[in-house]
Amino acid sequence: MNIRRIGISLLAGAILGVFCIIGARLRFETDLGNVYLFAFWFNRVLIGLVIGLASKCFTLPKALFRGAILGAFVSFAFYSSTGFLDPVGFVAGIVYGVIIEFVAFKFVK
């Protein structure tokens, strides 16, 4: 287990989660509530944790593909629990999985 990889992935997920909150507030006209926004942020942190726990891939293309798959898997849990209300948020989870995996790949030797 690589603690540095986990830490970097968690931090990347937490930062991207803030962007998700901002995006959700811009996309929805109604007040989403703090619990919903926290759950949205936490989902991105969870994507970071899952990616951080995965072993390092030896090639970047495989790593990015795995990031997309793990991002989709974790993001789908939140997306389905909200009654499939935010497809943009679901797709963002896939993109963020790729970003988190890229960051972890580049910063963990």
Residues 28-81: tens digit of each pLDDT: 888 889 999 999 999 999 999 999 999 988 999 999 999 999 999 999 999 999
pLDDT of residue 57: 85
**Phi, psi values for residue 30, rounded to 5°:** -85, 160
In 3D space, the residue among 92, 85, 16 whose CA is nearest the CA of residue 49 turns out to be 16
Helices (H), the chain: 3-27, 34-53, 60-81, 87-107
Percent of the chain with pLDDT over 90: 84
Tell me what the pLDDT averaged over the chain comes to: 94
